[in-house]
Structure 1
């Protein structure tokens, strides 16, 4: 196929640059997951991505920026999945929150290495990520809080503090994903993450007290 002009060559160059950046980010997920932030090296990430070490620095100023942008890409993909699969569909507040929970677990299952890194980033020694992570968490809380507020307004939920309820819901998701992100061995008869999720959703919506 013949090139039609400089515009085509420029477009191809942009695509190749984007492809290199994506390869570096994907390699970063694998290397950071295997080695941890402090043991991972830019050189190893470059080798895994099939590029030179200098090429990595063309896209990222240092290892910290690469790690943070890797996080950002993952969180953006997560939030986009929530927006496209959740908010555009009708349903009761309970149905929407249940879909949210299953989308969350589905994302963790599909992007397990990244999910494990995000989990470690929230609680580990990467203090320079904490303020940024709190901002991301607030976006998730805002989505859940809005759904709960609508449920209270419609009389579906009893009057509760919507922020506290949203925080509790996020805690439910965190607990349900632990066997996945920590790669715990599932003993015979143990509940899977999805089975655990269903039990936690039942407790969240129906409580512990017998009717």
Structure 2
């Protein structure tokens, strides 16, 4: 007998496959059911409607990512650049594996039919990511390496923006996708040519 968790996972995987070539309004539960190999009624046993299904897909795996970042924030004996590279790698891996999530996040403001509750939940989860990254940046041993005139949450938001830009804008780019090390370097040093060390943050 197939476990409920497995059926739920199959349905979520099916809707993600269907989303790859469709926009939100083109997605049908009939197509999802066929792709998942279940009856349409089975979907309704797990999800109230299409909106609820998309909401669950968008947030699927987010808690695991937050758990990983929380653990990174506790690591000791690693430098700021190394810890940020691990953080960026984890988030990039998540965004790439959850391509549909990224699309939904990008379309969120345009999809009036999405539930208000979902929009609020998505914003809450985004804030949680910002808080976790800000906590990493705010560790005592790193404070002398970062600017103290810019709020840590602002810095965290800029780092998240760099990650999303890398993963969304450079797929298929003929020069190749920028490395994760490049993301961290741009965040820490900016785009100014380096002539012998990091830019003096007080002079920026």
**Pairwise same-fold verdict (TM > 0.5):** yes
Does the residue aligned with 2:146 lie in a helix, a strand or coil?
Answer: coil
Picking from 13, 20, 36, the partner of 1:49 is 36
Confirm or deny that 1:17 pairs with 2:4: yes
Gaps of 5+ in 2: 200-204
Q: Give 2:103's aligned residue.
A: 117
CA distance in 1, matches of 2:187, 2:154: 12
CA distance in 1, matches of 2:80, 2:57: 32
TM-score (norm: length of structure 2): 0.79
5+ residue gaps, structure 1, are: 1-12
Asked if structure 2 preserves the Cα contact closer than 8 Å seen for 1:92 and 1:151, the reply is: no
Contact 2:16 2:100 (8 Å CA) reproduced: yes
Q: TM-score, normalised by structure 1?
A: 0.77
- SS in structure 1 at match of 2:20: helix
* Alignment pair present for 1:172 and 2:162: yes
Pick the structure with greater CA Rg: 1
The equivalent residue for 2:202 is none
Secondary structure at the residue paired with 1:155? helix
Cα distance, 1:150 vs structure 2: 1.6
* Residues 112/153 of structure 1: CA separation in 2 closer, same or farther (3 Å cut): closer
C-alpha RMSD of the superposition: 2.5
Higher helix proportion: 1
2:181 is the counterpart of 1:191: no
Q: Distance in 2 between matches of 1:94 and 1:51?
A: 47
